[in-house]
Structure 1
Amino acid sequence: HTTALSPGKIKQRLINLSKFPLLFILLFLFICSLDTLSSAFQLAGGKVAGDIFQDNVVLSNPVAGLVVGILVTVLVQSSSTSTSIVVSLVASGLLKVKLAVPVIMGTNIGTSVTNTIVAMMQAAERNEFQRAFAGATVHDCFNWLSVLVLLPLEVASGVITHLSQWLVSVFRLQPGEEAPELLKVITEPVTKLIIQLDKCVITGIAMGDEVLRNRSLVKQWCRADTALVMTMWVCSFAVTHYYLFNIYLYMKMKFRTIKHPKVCGIRLFAGRHLFASTELSDLTVGLILLAASLAVLCTCLLLLVKLLNSLLQGQMAKVIHKVINTDLPHPFGWLSGYIAMSVGAGVTFVVQSSSVFTSAMTPLVGIGVISLERAYPLTLGSNIGTTATALLAALASPGNKIVASIQIALCHLLFNVFGILLWYPVPFMRLPIRMAYVLGERTAKYRWFAILYLLLCFLLLPSLVLGLSLAGWQVMAGVGGPFLGITLFIAVVNTMQAHSPRHLPTKLRTWDFLPKWMHSLKPLDRLITKATVCCSFTCEAGQNEEKEDEEPISPHATSVRTQDESGSSQRKEQLAYNNPVLDCLEEIRPGVPVFKLKGLERCNSTPL
């Protein structure tokens, strides 16, 4: 006989079914917020990115070219934008392909900053944050290790440049159709209502066009008719800047930023997006979009994590985890990673963005659905998928740019293929996984380390290297040589300390002979903790004073205040007096306090 479902069970099943469309809605908003975030960064730093590309003397230095690729991609949050600038420079003869290869390597590094930022949104739970940050930084580690090996090899032999040139000549690729827009067909109707940019302005500035420097990136007007708009451009610029007509009107752009739309008596219609008629500067619009997109991104990510946690419970979670992370039966187990790599490449080709794929995968790694060992080949496949999309886009380039576009896309593909051959087939060589584990553990222990990592790897160190390159190769060699030597020495000693300390001199078996701040993050952590506690204590004391001024004193309040004052000295000594940010818990052992940051424990007693 059949058992009738109770109203409670029916309600629960309906709630569970409603979670699936909500999951897709949140994922859609998450992807749209990533696209808007990229536009915001381009508005805030796009012209600066174009200026960086102008100095060919800097780009002639391979290390400086690498740094330029990193900084520009971080500024515009789009590897496709920075790659298109490189293609334009190569096609116009302003940059050689050999000098463009380091820039392409830099764009590969810069594009991995997005999922690292996304991982920081899971800092509310310690274990999730550790897994999510490790899953995000495995991409960074792979890119940095690949650059450390392939950049010197490329400078010495030009292997990537020569191989890409040979492939272009052998296959004789011809112009084809435009790359299919799969995910963008769904997201663009929404993102185009928010903001639309004229990316040709950034490319024009990079090519040295000073006329475009005062042009806004925001598309403020759209054309009513192609012939009329072309006539308007001829009337406006034919006398002084005729080449603008040839370069920019040849490209099939629907919108233009036109300050005086009635130059030739032609009526143009305002573009259909929020900032079509704005008088705000690009920087102001960019900051507004940056704040809004980050708010939507964080909200969607938090809701996605909670929704996935509620869906992936009990037996379902075990089944999904087993299906995703289990290898194929013997003797085909070694193929599992390559299948995952193919899946990553295919999904990235569909969504046409490695940032979207890796950012969407990061929360799944955080909640434990995808293991780090499985996330690694998925990320590598994502790198291949984004180069396939770039190759299809190159085939749709104009005739004067197709050779340069295809060669740059092939250079990007070869860099990732060589990196995979280095750091994946041999299990012992999968160093990015071990490096990501270390970074995840360190970040879970010291939460501020995530911010320090982002600033150092994607802003401060690249800016320092760029500054040294501007000073000349002598200065760069004088500073960079000793730094690399010391870094290599520390890495070798750390490895030997962990695996074969007996082969080291007695003094080098530990770093205890050095000052503690040189080999431990505890002093810095203690300083940051005290600064946070003092700031919170000051705010709380001010609030208490205001309450004392407002509230009347009663006998009961006097007795309570006396009890509070008796224990105030003890609480102040614990550096967490009535602190909403840091709550001092019971001590594990004398002298070693354990703090909890918004519900997360962090113990200072664990040695580095």
Structure 2
Amino acid sequence: MEGLKLEKNKVNRTKSYLLMLLALLLFIFAIDLLTVAMSHLNNEVAENILLATRNPFVSLFIGLLMTALIQSSSTVTASVVAVVAAGNLTLEQAVPMVMGANIGTTLTSTLVSLSYIMNRKQFRRALSAGMLHDIFNIFTVVLLLPMEVYFGFLSKISISIAHLFVPNESYTGPIVYNKVFTRPITEWISGTIDIPFLTMIISVFLVFGAIKLLSSAVYQAFVLDSFQELNKLIFRNPYMAFIYGTFFTAAVQSSTVTTSLIVPLVANKKVSVKKSFPFIIGANIGTTITAAIAAIYKTEAAIALAIVHFLFNFIGALIFLPYPTLRNLPVLLAKYMGTKSVNSKFIGFAYILLTFFIIPFLLIYFSN
């Protein structure tokens, strides 16, 4: 009986490995198709994209709203990398959008916490854990967005690092990208459809599907059993939690998956809100691997944006992780919001609607 079980697990693991490979190929293909589609868009469409993102705060909220609607920051950041690689978006315009995607992705863990709404104590703990991810990303954006807008802090550093990878390319000149192995197929498909906007929409859906498929396959192959076994070890100290959060999220390419795992643990008192925070910080860094894969074109622009995504999350980690006093600020605020939302459930729903949908939509609408 034990032998049959082991054999079944082995077969399932092999299937997961094959599924991972298929998903990775689909992801590379989808990103390449999106880049080709964006490069074929007419000048009027490209100009509209540039106009919409000229205001960094509008760009921030576009990233936030897009991610909140499709529930995948990996899809949004990978798509933005492809748009930058195609030359229809500058690095400076893309940076706030990636920051917005970081906030938008936190909606999932907050929504997961709402499933505990019938039990007051569990709901308070779960909502605190869910909101902790939101608050950390909002704090990081509040600190880094002004520095980026006024000084080009992240974009200048990332361009300097990108020069090491693409020393012969000039970022200010036209974007020339190396053709990946899928390019003949993607160019044929784009030419056959012959409607760049439709090709772009199809490719975005393919990116989303590939990430979901890859996330599911890696989660089944590596994380599901391991996470339950390593639960006590993971949260032994903040740095251990941070490391596991980074590697688990890099494996499944989705911070929403790993942070959503935390909410039930906190709700059921397996982990405290305070101990879960370093894991969430690590998850934010782990999710940047998607942009790195999307930057396989070896263009300076695409690589620079992938570096920006990493730097944004890494600097956020450097600000909060080493200092217990600073680390406790988001935790205390999340607990406060959790308590207030339990006393008046309207606050929790109002927070979600205002933060992720109403405020971004209104700001984008009135700016246009």
TM-score (norm 1): 0.43
Displacement of 1:52 = 12
Structure 1 gaps of 5+ residues are: 1-20, 29-49, 175-225, 257-311, 327-335, 471-608
Letter in 2 for 1:163: I
Counterpart-to-counterpart distance in 2, 1:378 and 1:173:
36
Residue 404 (str. 1) matches residue 306 (str. 2): no
Displacement of 1:233 = 7.8
- 1:130 and 1:440 in contact (8 A); partners too: yes
- 1:52 and 1:68 in contact (8 A); partners too: no
Select which of 428, 439, 444 maps to 2:337. 439
Evaluate the alpha carbon distance shift between residue 94 and residue 445 of structure 1 in structure 2; reply closer, same or farther with a 3 A threshold: same
Evaluate the alpha carbon distance shift between residue 173 and residue 455 of structure 1 in structure 2; reply closer, same or farther with a 3 A threshold: farther
- 2:235 and 2:276 in contact (8 A); partners too: no
Residue 71 (str. 1) matches residue 58 (str. 2): no
Evaluate the alpha carbon distance shift between residue 113 and residue 144 of structure 1 in structure 2; reply closer, same or farther with a 3 A threshold: same
Structure 2 gaps of 5+ residues are: 1-8, 17-40, 169-183, 207-227
Counterpart-to-counterpart distance in 1, 2:88 and 2:158:
19
Evaluate the alpha carbon distance shift between residue 65 and residue 424 of structure 1 in structure 2; reply closer, same or farther with a 3 A threshold: same
TM-score (norm 2): 0.70
Structure 1 stretch displaced more, 429-438 or 64-73: 429-438
Residue 156 (str. 1) matches residue 150 (str. 2): yes
Which residue of the partner structure matches residue 99 of structure 2?
105
Number of matched pairs: 289
Letter in 1 for 2:316: G
Evaluate the alpha carbon distance shift between residue 446 and residue 108 of structure 1 in structure 2; reply closer, same or farther with a 3 A threshold: same
Counterpart-to-counterpart distance in 2, 1:53 and 1:455:
31
Displacement of 1:403 = 2.9
Residues 62-103 of structure 1: CA deviation (Å, up to 9, x unaligned): 111101110111122111222233223212222110111000
Select which of 357, 360, 364 maps to 1:466. 364
Aligned residue for 1:425, secondary structure, equals coil
Structure 1 stretch displaced more, 385-394 or 139-148: 385-394
Aligned residue for 1:448, secondary structure, equals helix
Select which of 349, 352, 365 maps to 1:454. 352
- State the structure with bigger RCO (CA 8 A, min sep 6), 1 or 2: 2
Residues 18-42 of structure 1: CA deviation (Å, up to 9, x unaligned): xxx9xx9xxx9xxxxxxxxxxxxxx
Higher alpha-carbon Rg = 1
Counterpart-to-counterpart distance in 2, 1:167 and 1:459:
35
Evaluate the alpha carbon distance shift between residue 465 and residue 324 of structure 1 in structure 2; reply closer, same or farther with a 3 A threshold: same
Evaluate the alpha carbon distance shift between residue 341 and residue 233 of structure 1 in structure 2; reply closer, same or farther with a 3 A threshold: closer
Counterpart-to-counterpart distance in 2, 1:108 and 1:461:
16
Which residue of the partner structure matches residue 426 of structure 1?
323
Deviating runs (4+, > 3 A) in structure 1? 50-55, 171-174, 323-326
Select which of 240, 247, 250 maps to 1:349. 250
Residues 414-444 of structure 1: CA deviation (Å, up to 9, x unaligned): 1011111222322221221111011111112
Which residue of the partner structure matches residue 86 of structure 1?
80
Evaluate the alpha carbon distance shift between residue 355 and residue 233 of structure 1 in structure 2; reply closer, same or farther with a 3 A threshold: closer
- 1:79 and 1:110 in contact (8 A); partners too: yes
Counterpart-to-counterpart distance in 1, 2:103 and 2:58:
14
Displacement of 1:173 = 8.9
Evaluate the alpha carbon distance shift between residue 466 and residue 403 of structure 1 in structure 2; reply closer, same or farther with a 3 A threshold: same
Select which of 395, 415, 423 maps to 2:312. 415
Residues 319-364 of structure 1: CA deviation (Å, up to 9, x unaligned): 976x5544xxxxxxxxx21221001011111222111111122111
Residue 61 (str. 1) matches residue 51 (str. 2): no
Which residue of the partner structure matches residue 172 of structure 2?
none
Evaluate the alpha carbon distance shift between residue 145 and residue 233 of structure 1 in structure 2; reply closer, same or farther with a 3 A threshold: closer
Displacement of 1:409 = 1.1
Which residue of the partner structure matches residue 129 of structure 2?
135
Residue 380 (str. 1) matches residue 291 (str. 2): no
Any residues of structure 2 matched to 1:558-569 within 5 Å, and which?
none
Q: How large is the Cα RMSD of the aligned pairs?
A: 3.6
